[in-house]
Each structure stands twice: as structure tokens, then as C-alpha cells.
Structure 1
Amino acid sequence: MKRHWHLPLTMALSCLNAPLWAHGTMEIPVNRVYSCYLEGPEAPKSAACQEARRIGGAQAMYDWNAINQTPYGDNHQAAVPDGTLCGGGKSEFKGFNLARSDWRSTPIVPDAAGEYEFVYKATSPHATKYFRFYVTRNGWNPTMPLRWSDLQLFGSYNGNPPQDAGRRYHMTMKLPTGKTGQHIIFVVWKRSDSEEAFYSCSDVRFSNDTGLPLSNPWREIGDIIAHENLPAGSSVTLRVFDNRGHDAERHRVELDAVAGLASNWPYKLAQKVNAASKAVRIGMISQRQRIVHITPVRSVTANRVYLNDGYKGYSYALDVNSGGAR
């Protein structure tokens, strides 16, 4: 059967609808629950998301923007006990409190000033009292339940952050120093017009190269997730739009039976894009000897999309023509 899928920013090969009554979560680096939602609530790809679904069901993934409580007087620890932080203290999200080291993680590389742009997807924006940013301490063990004592505050934003047309808050923070390898960034969003607060765990990996990069013009704007194998004769096209929504670039790859495997076609697309695009790169970001690299990988879920600072406001979509459809 021939199909054609056209997908907006950050939605990878899925026609899933977020609940309209809920409020938001961290998009970059991606929240753990939202990451599983993007994989597909009914058939997630990663082992960690599969286990979270087995324990708590698929509905929690559909409710990714409702990880909330009403802590009186900012007493978040009372509302969200140790061991339940990633699920916001709610039984619905218990599968996302699993202490395991294989949650899909976001590689973190700062800019030359040591800063990183955090993006919070607010499906229903609210008046904001503050955002608080925490990171796990050095020596934290990912195979043990996450506790408040495992967290260190490294940044905060008081009041309403800048918001784009897509209802995303943008906050640039100085990253904590001395962090390498796997960590969790935990974010609390507290409203100013009620006691409601939202909680978010983002699994991240800091570079083992602890010096600041000489420069890093690349900002993550989404990812490429392959939900299925594509048959021979299929094609995949990455379309890049300028800040007025006009077509700026188009990068197409034709697939045979091997290249169409779910673990292969994002890699093939990334190679084509990285060789030809001025605005975007696809792959995994890393830093070696203070130089930033974006390298495609053969993976169903690992490749991210990065935008060059010189092309602010640009976006992308993924067109999939299955079985030779045009």
C-alpha cells in the first residue's frame, strides 16, 4: 500500500494527538515521557519506553504534558516524594520512575560561553512564577530511584520567558561545570496564578571533553524517529522552510530494501542532508578537543536535527513516500 506522510517540526512519522487540556513539558532536551510519546505510545521502540508502557499503559504517554501537582507554598518535596520525581508523584506515570540506564538521552554541548538554550513546549501557556533547573550530582547512580538529594540547582528563570509562535518557551542557561556522561536535568515550572506546578525529567549526556567548545552554532530543533521499515522504492525528503514558511531546501533520498530498514534510512538521509544543507545537520552532537561534531548514526531513535544560528526561525518537515508513491 502506498502512503504519504507529511510531518511538522519534531513529529517523527506519527499522527499522534496531544491532549488539549494539559499544559506542557521540556522539549529540548526532551522530557522522558514526551520522548516515549514521540516513539509511539502503542508501540514504542526503545526498551525503556516499552517497559514503561507495560507497567503503566500507553495513556501516560498521551498525557505527557500533564505531569503536575499543586504543592502548597512551593513545597515540591511534599507533593513529589523521593523515587517519584520523573512521574511527578502521580501513579499514572509510575513507569517513568524506573531506575535504569537506558532511557533515550540527549547529548548536551554548550556554546562557547558555556550556555545552552532550553525549549519548553507549553501546549497551554500559563502565567509563570519561575522555572527551576536542577541536575543530578556527580556520583549519582541511574540504577537507583531518583531522590531530591540527588539534585543540584544550577539555574532559574523568574517570570514569563520569551515564547515563540509554536507556544514554546526559550530559556538560555549557563550549564553546570564539571559534568560528564549520563545525568538527569529536572525542571520545575511553577505558575504564578495558582499553586499548580509541572515536573520534567530529561535524560542527558554531557561531553567527556570538559573544555568549552571553540564555537557551537548548532541548536537542536527536533529528531528523526523511524517507526517502521520502508519498502524498496520508497523515498524520504527533508524539507527546510525559512522564517516566513517558504521552501528553502529540499533533500531527498531513494531507498532500496536495505536502505529502507528503520535503522538505516535516517542514517542515509542524514548523510545526504549533512553534505548539502547550509542550514541544518542530522545526527548526534559531540565535542572532541573543543571541536563540535554532528555525526549520523544507524539508529531508529538517536538522530537529532540541528539548526545553524545563522538561520534563526527556520523549521523542517519530513515527507515519506512509501512504496514509490509521489
Structure 2
Amino acid sequence: MRLRSTSGSTRRRSLVTLFVATLAGLFIWVPTASAHGTIVGPATRAYQCWQDWGSQHTNPAMQQQDPMCWQAFQANADTMWNWMSALRDGLGGNFQGSTPDGQLCSNGLSRNNSLNTPGPWRSTNVGSNFSLHLYDQASHGADFFRVYVSKQGFNPATQTLGWGNLDFITQTGKYAPAKDITFNVQTSGYTGQHIVFTIWQASHLDQTYMWCSSVNFT
């Protein structure tokens, strides 16, 4: 009885396996369309939680040392893991009409609702003139940034943020694609704990990001 050689079929199976593995690798490494960025200075609430606790998110000390991040991790850890992807499509510039009061810090995304919770969020000390720093993994640039500061007398420890609680500070011009964009913000008359509310209108599509950065004007 003749024995059939299996060397050819073995080679074919090996090639198929290699091809499938290569395709799988491509799917793994292609970045998602939602991977963009956030304001890293002064840090947005989600970025601050990820930066301070991402490597130790199961540490029970977080509940006492940083209760606002603790409640955020308990509500949905993905809010912090995906600090770069809090976007909404197709708002057409209707930021206020499409984002109800009390949902500004989450950009109207229910999965990020913990970011709207009033309380003792860790804050960044800033002066009357400070810099905002966007880190954008995808380098999409900006049609503009719009910056607000919570009104003097608003208490972020006890009040949720609404549009009527904000003072409009500035709107920038267009920025070319870059991973890091920094610009100056000039204010006056603010003291103590506040929220800096920033809108980033990305350039490549009609994609809008809104964030809250907790600050202390010194």
C-alpha cells in the first residue's frame, strides 16, 4: 500500500495559519476611530483619576484618599480607561441645546455620568492666567476650543454644573493636526475652587468633546 505524502498539505496548513495570524494582528493593532485625547493640564476629571489610580485602581485607600475617583471607578471603570474617547458626533455646533444641565462634565454620555457628581474632586492650582494643554493621540487638530469658567460663588463640591453656571472666557482659532496643543487662557476675578469647562471641536469630522477640569485659583 502506498503512503501519501503529507508534506504539501502541511505546508498549506502552515501558510493558512500564518495568514490568519497576520490578519488577527492587523485587527489588534489598528487604532479605533474614537482614540483621540483630552485636556491633560489642568487635568480633566477622568484623566486625573486614570493618572492617579489607573495602576492601582483596586487599592482600597482610594475610597478615603480620593472619594470622587473611587465613586467614578465603582460606577464605570471604562470612564477612566477611555479618557481619550469621550466624544459625540454630529452636534453641528449646537452644544448647549444637545447637552442638558447637569451633564456637561460627561459630555452628555450616560456611561460617564459619574464625572457630573459634585464633590471634593482633586484640583490643579492655577493663576489668573494659565495654559490649557490638549494631548491628542490621533493628531486631528481643532476647528476651535471654547473655554468657560464656573461663576464666582458656584460650589463644585455641592452643585452640578449647568450652562447658567458658566462664564464664557475665550474661543480660539483653528489648530493644525498635532499630538500636543497648548494655548493660554486669561481670566480675572476668580478665587478658590472652580471648574474649567472646555469644548474641543475636532477638525477631521464633526466630533465634539466636552470636559471638566477641577481647578483652584490661587
Q: TM-score, normalised by structure 1?
A: 0.52
1:27 aligns to 2:30 (yes or no): no
Tell whether the 8 Å contact from 1:60 to 1:93 is kept in structure 2 after alignment.
yes
User: Aligned residues: percent identity?
Assistant: 30
Over residues 88-142 of structure 1, what are the superposed CA-to-partner deviations in whole Å (9 max), with x where a residue is unaligned? 1101101111011x101000025xxxx3221111111214211011000111122
Q: 2:211 is paired with a residue of what secondary structure?
A: strand
1:92 aligns to 2:111 (yes or no): yes
Q: 1:148 to 1:71 in 2, by over 3 A?
A: farther
Specify which structure has the bigger relative contact order, considering alpha-carbon pairs within 8 angstroms and separated by 6 or more residues: 2
Over residues 286-318 of structure 1, what are the superposed CA-to-partner deviations in whole Å (9 max), with x where a residue is unaligned? xxxxxxxxxxxxxxxxxxxxxxxxxxxxxxxxx
Taking the TM superposition and a 5 Å limit, the aligned residue runs for 1:208-247 are none
Tell me how far apart the structure 2 counterparts of residues 39 and 179 of structure 1 sit (CA, whole Å): 27
Superposition deviation, residue 71 in structure 1: 4.5
Q: Which structure features the higher share of strand residues?
A: 1
Task: Provide the residue aligned with 1:70 in structure 2.
Answer: 89
Q: 1:124 to 1:200 in 2, by over 3 A?
A: same
Based on CA coordinates, which of the two structures has the bigger radius of gyration? 2
Tell whether the 8 Å contact from 1:162 to 1:170 is kept in structure 2 after alignment.
no
Q: CA RMSD in A?
A: 1.9
Tell me how far apart the structure 1 counterparts of residues 215 and 121 of structure 2 sit (CA, whole Å): 9
Q: 1:52 is paired with a residue of what secondary structure?
A: helix
Task: Provide the residue aligned with 1:152 in structure 2.
Answer: 167
Tell me how far apart the structure 1 counterparts of residues 45 and 91 of structure 2 sit (CA, whole Å): 26
Tell me how far apart the structure 2 counterparts of residues 162 and 178 of structure 1 sit (CA, whole Å): 34
Query: In the alignment, which of 161, 165, 190 is matched to residue 179 of structure 1?
Result: 190
Q: 1:120 is paired with a residue of what secondary structure?
A: strand
Task: Provide the residue aligned with 1:126 in structure 2.
Answer: 140
Tell me how far apart the structure 1 counterparts of residues 130 and 52 of structure 2 sit (CA, whole Å): 25
Give 1:84's aligned amino acid: Q
Q: TM-score, normalised by structure 2?
A: 0.76
1:105 aligns to 2:136 (yes or no): no
Task: Provide the residue aligned with 1:116 in structure 2.
Answer: 130
Q: 1:205 to 1:197 in 2, by over 3 A?
A: same
Over residues 69-92 of structure 1, what are the superposed CA-to-partner deviations in whole Å (9 max), with x where a residue is unaligned? 125330012332111111111011
Tell me how far apart the structure 1 counterparts of residues 68 and 126 of structure 2 sit (CA, whole Å): 20
1:136 aligns to 2:136 (yes or no): no
Q: Which structure features the higher share of helix residues?
A: 2
Superposition deviation, residue 146 in structure 1: 0.7
Taking the TM superposition and a 5 Å limit, the aligned residue runs for 1:34-45 are 34-41=47-54, 42-43=57-58, 45=62
Tell me how far apart the structure 2 counterparts of residues 157 and 151 of structure 1 sit (CA, whole Å): 17
Give 1:146's aligned amino acid: L
Superposition deviation, residue 144 in structure 1: 1.5
Give 2:96's aligned amino acid: Q
Give 1:172's aligned amino acid: N
Tell whether the 8 Å contact from 2:71 to 2:114 is kept in structure 1 after alignment.
yes
Superposition deviation, residue 159 in structure 1: 0.3
Superposition deviation, residue 152 in structure 1: 1.1
Over residues 41-67 of structure 1, what are the superposed CA-to-partner deviations in whole Å (9 max), with x where a residue is unaligned? 433631110011122x21110010111
Over residues 211-259 of structure 1, what are the superposed CA-to-partner deviations in whole Å (9 max), with x where a residue is unaligned? xxxxxxxxxxxxxxxxxxxxxxxxxxxxxxxxxxxxxxxxxxxxxxxxx
Q: Give the paired residue count.
A: 179
